[in-house]
Structure 1
Amino acid sequence: MIKRLFPQIIAITFSFLVLGLGTVLAQKTWTLEECILYALENNIQIKQSRLQTQTAEINLLQSKLDFAPSVNANASLGNNWGRNQGQSGLYIDRSTLSNSFGLNGSLELFGGMKKWNTLQKSELDLKASNYVSEEMENDISLGLTGAYLNIIYSHELLNVAEQQVEVTRQQIERTNNLVEAGTLPRGDLLEIQAQGAQEETNLITAQNNLSLAYLDLKQFLDLPSETDLEIDFPKIELSQELQIIPSDQIYANAVDIMPEIKGGEVNLQSAERSVKIAQGSLYPSLSLNGGISTNYYSSAQKLAYDDAGNPVLDSNLDPVWEDIPYSDQLDLNTGEYLTLNLNIPIFNGYAVKSNVKRAKVQTVDQSFRLQLRKNELRKNIEQKYHDAIAAYKTYNASKFSVESLSEAFNYTEEKFNVGMVNSVDYSLAKIKLTQAQSQYLQAKYDYIFKTKILDFYMGIPLTL
């Protein structure tokens, strides 16, 4: 009985394991580090940039192999027919089969150092390609960090909206009781109910913003919008004091490690190698060539000799000719050669000098591009530095404002409950508190994101 049910038991057990595994995956929470790692492994743009790196690796290998000699083999088979002059001197109709084989090689001994400079350029191009991939990875990591923090920010805004809605609901109940008791006019209840409706709308907006923030993160990860995605909400503690390294120190560090700068420097070096490659055509080139060849002709003949070594004659006392065997011809017709070729450029329509000038222009252009990138990096760091300081000041001011307005609202709410203030004053106090809470959260996460960017320029990994 057990043996008969064993396959079913195995199937049921396997189903439970699969369902359990699916539940675990569904319950997984993504940290910022896990999101970045997933994006770097699966982003299509990064994969495309890595394909460019593979192409650069192939080019580098080819540059190395260009130093090896070139060796080629050739063979031909042909057939000629028509009137041809025979051994007797008379023209006769005949068909001639020909066959030839050859093997030749060439080695450049000196070519103006073009191959050497091409090899150096290929190595630099490979480095530049790696820096392009690294720069793309950095851009995606920073963008993903912003999207991740936006979810946390939107989540806290949603909590504020939910709290405000709940407070207003409770206040509506208390106001309704006071109106029925005759303590407050009915207009106050209508005012509070209108505020409640507005806060319900704000709650829907906050929920939608949170959904859009999750959608933005999913798009960074190239995940379908219907994917269940839950992120980790770390507790982020902010220092009471401003702790930001001066922008000039950040720039001095970033200019040595940022891939866009390192790539620009390598591109400049590659352009300088291009100049040397173009200048190589101005110098003489020396090459060594050699080869071996042989051939066969079906019309090839030789005098016939008897065993005694005497020429064989026909009835007219004319010498008898016989065909030379195929293998004998391949052996007898073998030829070898070895040449040393020197090529001295004298005039080539000014083409070489034009190439040199174009290469020098590209070098100057690359130097400008590098300086522009450095300027852009410096401006970006200075902007983020001042934005971080402003966000920190706004954060502290907003924090104090929230604390003050919270106390003021609690005091106003107590007075409203006993009829000492009207609904308009109560609503204004509540709106001011909500606005201050929103500004506080915005400044908080703006400051966090700006400092994370500055830390990133210092070589500190992105983490919360």
Structure 2
Amino acid sequence: MLGAAVVAGRAQEVRPWTMDDCMRYAAENSLKVRAGQHRSDTYVAEYRAAVAGLFPSVGARIGGQLNYGRSIDPQTNTYNNVSTFNNSYAVYASLPLFDGGQLINEAKAARINRLLGRHELRRAQDEAALAVMEAFANVLYYGGTVRLASEKLDESSRMLHKTQRMEELGMKGAADVAQMAAQMAADDYNLTHQRNLCDAAVRTLKEAMNYPTDKALALDTTVAVPPTSGEEEATTEEIFLRAKADNPTMQAAECRQQAARYQYRVARGAMLPQLTFEVGISTNYFRNLADQHTTAFSKQFFDNNRGEYLALTLSIPLFDGLSRYTSARRARNTMRIANTERDETLRQLRTAVEQAVADREGFAKEAVQMQRKVEADSIAYRVTLRKYEEGLSSAIDLQTAANTLLEARANLLQKQLSYEIKRRLVAYYQGEGLATESETPRKPSQQFNPSTSQQTNPSTIQQFNPSTSQQTNPSTIQQTPWIYN
């Protein structure tokens, strides 16, 4: 249900959501963003583990053994039936001196993956924000078509009443009255249809935001657009170079490429010999349960049975069923795939930038032409209406002119919203944020209404509000939110 908050107290209770507010909410609450946060945390933990792997590994071991029945006497090396108890202790440390660079390359790969997690998280936030931006624009569009359809229904109702009066005066016939009644019924249906489309757009917006569906959502229908500066706009190539250096999708692809290269080095290092240094100390306590004169625990532990050792271990892989060779080949192919995917991502980014710039310029031109068409159709409708009142045109001619004007105004609103989306998208490729971190202040300036014919250049659009049809003084702008349940 679409309704306007016309009561001042009601408007103060509900803070309207701007497009930036909705985008920021989605970037913080999207389920994909939450999953990206968990993946990023995993990459951080893996990086810490890889760095810790460069340090010596230290361990301790404690064991106890109680023997019953026949066993070997360690002093005489003969079997006896004496029960014994043995308690062993050991502390040891090992340090890989050479492992083919596996540990170093694993640490480098983990460091790249940590950056990858950050880029993927930012990409998830940007994707959520962009999806909400389109959904918000759809809500504005269908909200505008609801207003246009409502105005058209009011106009049809007024014309039906006027035609009935003219019939009573003998100026119009019953056919004209029937034609106007049919047009009013069609306009009533169109209003209901547009409201249904608007409700569906609101549900899509809430889904994209991960916003509770059972809560009302008050939307600020004013979209702020910064005025065009006098500086020369960046070329497509300049925008592409900025996007290549800052776009999270591109950076994630480059991180995967680098991580795959380090993983290939790890797999190659596993085919080389490994040299490990070990140091340790061990002791034990032994007791013959049948002998009452056992040496004291402290003397055995610290003096009699204590021993230390140093060791160098050289491990040379000779044959393991081609496991290492297969792993290296798999890692090499993974690296080549990552290189290919990085090139494909770069190509897609260039195409996306070129398309966004072309769409922005195209929608700007289309909006200018559509504005002129709205002006021309408005004049044509007023002329046809005057002729209809004078009996010089039929009801069908009036309906055709009215429908043409309605379609032109709806198309103008669509082109203006499409231009705003593409303008924001191009700015995003240039490195501007999507309002996912901090509040973007709205600068009051010129109030632009898509349904009027005053503004003709989209490059100078500063603010437009699909929910209003009057040109407003910027110093006295009072925004009235749409509240959706």
What residue identity is the alignment partner of 1:170?
R
Change (3 A) 1:286 1:455: same
State which of 25, 28, 34 in structure 1 corresponds to 2:21.
34
Matches within 5 A, 1:97-108: 97-108=85-96
Change (3 A) 1:42 1:329: same
Structure 2 counterpart of 1:341: 313
Structure 2 counterpart of 1:178: 166
- Residues 301-341 of structure 1 deviation map (CA, whole Å, 9 limit, x = unaligned): 99xxxxxxxxxxxxxxxxxx943233332231111111122
Structure 2 counterpart of 1:81: 68
Structure 1 counterpart of 2:267: 278
State which of 289, 295, 299 in structure 2 corresponds to 1:328.
299
Whether the 8 Å CA contact 1:244–1:451 is kept in 2: the answer is no
Whether the 8 Å CA contact 1:300–1:324 is kept in 2: the answer is no
Please state how far the C-alpha of 1:249 moved relative to its aligned partner. 2.8
Structure 1 counterpart of 2:255: 266
Query: What TM-score results when the alignment is normalised by the length of structure 2?
Result: 0.81
Please state how far the C-alpha of 1:253 moved relative to its aligned partner. 1.8
Structure 2 counterpart of 1:191: 179
What residue identity is the alignment partner of 1:116?
I
Change (3 A) 1:287 1:156: same
Whether the 8 Å CA contact 1:83–1:94 is kept in 2: the answer is yes
| In structure 2, distance between residues paired with 1:294 and 1:461 | 64
Structure 1 counterpart of 2:205: 217
Structure 2 counterpart of 1:256: 245
Structure 2 counterpart of 1:121: 109
State which of 139, 142, 150 in structure 2 corresponds to 1:162.
150
What residue identity is the alignment partner of 1:151?
V
State which of 427, 430, 447 in structure 2 corresponds to 1:455.
427
What residue identity is the alignment partner of 1:329?
Q
What residue identity is the alignment partner of 2:406?
T
**Mean alpha-carbon deviation: is it higher for 346-355 or for 106-115?**
346-355
Structure 1 counterpart of 2:394: 422
Structure 2 counterpart of 1:364: 336
Residue 131, structure 1, aligned to residue 100, structure 2: no
Structure 1 counterpart of 2:358: 386
Change (3 A) 1:260 1:91: closer
Quick check: which has more Rg, 1 or 2? 1
**Mean alpha-carbon deviation: is it higher for 327-336 or for 252-261?**
327-336
Whether the 8 Å CA contact 1:261–1:370 is kept in 2: the answer is yes
**Mean alpha-carbon deviation: is it higher for 117-126 or for 292-301?**
292-301
- Give the % identical residues: 25
| In structure 1, distance between residues paired with 2:36 and 2:55 | 30
| In structure 2, distance between residues paired with 1:420 and 1:119 | 85
Query: Any idea what SS the aligned residue of 1:191 has?
Result: helix
| In structure 2, distance between residues paired with 1:58 and 1:248 | 39
Query: Any idea what SS the aligned residue of 1:50 has?
Result: helix
State which of 433, 448, 453 in structure 1 corresponds to 2:405.
433
| In structure 1, distance between residues paired with 2:117 and 2:78 | 72
| In structure 1, distance between residues paired with 2:51 and 2:257 | 22
Structure 1 counterpart of 2:460: none
**Mean alpha-carbon deviation: is it higher for 453-462 or for 55-64?**
453-462
Please state how far the C-alpha of 1:39 moved relative to its aligned partner. 1.6
Structure 2 counterpart of 1:145: 133
| In structure 1, distance between residues paired with 2:384 and 2:368 | 24
Please state how far the C-alpha of 1:26 moved relative to its aligned partner. 4.9
Whether the 8 Å CA contact 1:43–1:221 is kept in 2: the answer is yes
Change (3 A) 1:186 1:357: same
Whether the 8 Å CA contact 1:131–1:263 is kept in 2: the answer is yes
Whether the 8 Å CA contact 1:57–1:126 is kept in 2: the answer is yes
| In structure 2, distance between residues paired with 1:97 and 1:441 | 91
| In structure 2, distance between residues paired with 1:238 and 1:407 | 31
Change (3 A) 1:457 1:197: same
What residue identity is the alignment partner of 2:236?
S
Which ranges of structure 1 fall in alignment gaps of 5 or more residues?
A: 1-21, 303-320
Please state how far the C-alpha of 1:81 moved relative to its aligned partner. 2.3
Whether the 8 Å CA contact 1:261–1:374 is kept in 2: the answer is yes
**Mean alpha-carbon deviation: is it higher for 44-53 or for 427-436?**
427-436
Structure 1 counterpart of 2:454: none
**Mean alpha-carbon deviation: is it higher for 353-362 or for 267-276?**
353-362
Residue 69, structure 1, aligned to residue 40, structure 2: no
Please state how far the C-alpha of 1:55 moved relative to its aligned partner. 0.5
- Residues 49-89 of structure 1 deviation map (CA, whole Å, 9 limit, x = unaligned): 11001111110110111122122211222222224577799
**Mean alpha-carbon deviation: is it higher for 338-347 or for 89-98?**
89-98
Structure 1 counterpart of 2:368: 396
- Residues 193-250 of structure 1 deviation map (CA, whole Å, 9 limit, x = unaligned): 1101101111111222222222222112212223111111225569899996443332
Please state how far the C-alpha of 1:407 moved relative to its aligned partner. 0.8
Whether the 8 Å CA contact 1:301–1:324 is kept in 2: the answer is no
| In structure 2, distance between residues paired with 1:85 and 1:73 | 28
Whether the 8 Å CA contact 1:29–1:230 is kept in 2: the answer is yes
Change (3 A) 1:343 1:136: same
Larger relative contact order (CA 8 Å, sep ≥ 6): 2
Structure 1 counterpart of 2:442: none
Change (3 A) 1:239 1:76: closer
Whether the 8 Å CA contact 1:26–1:228 is kept in 2: the answer is no
Structure 1 counterpart of 2:219: 231
| In structure 2, distance between residues paired with 1:82 and 1:292 | 31
Whether the 8 Å CA contact 2:15–2:218 is kept in 1: the answer is yes
Whether the 8 Å CA contact 2:83–2:289 is kept in 1: the answer is no
- Residues 339-394 of structure 1 deviation map (CA, whole Å, 9 limit, x = unaligned): 12223344444433332222221111101000111111122222233333332232
| In structure 2, distance between residues paired with 1:280 and 1:253 | 37
Query: What TM-score results when the alignment is normalised by the length of structure 1?
Result: 0.85
More helix by share: 1
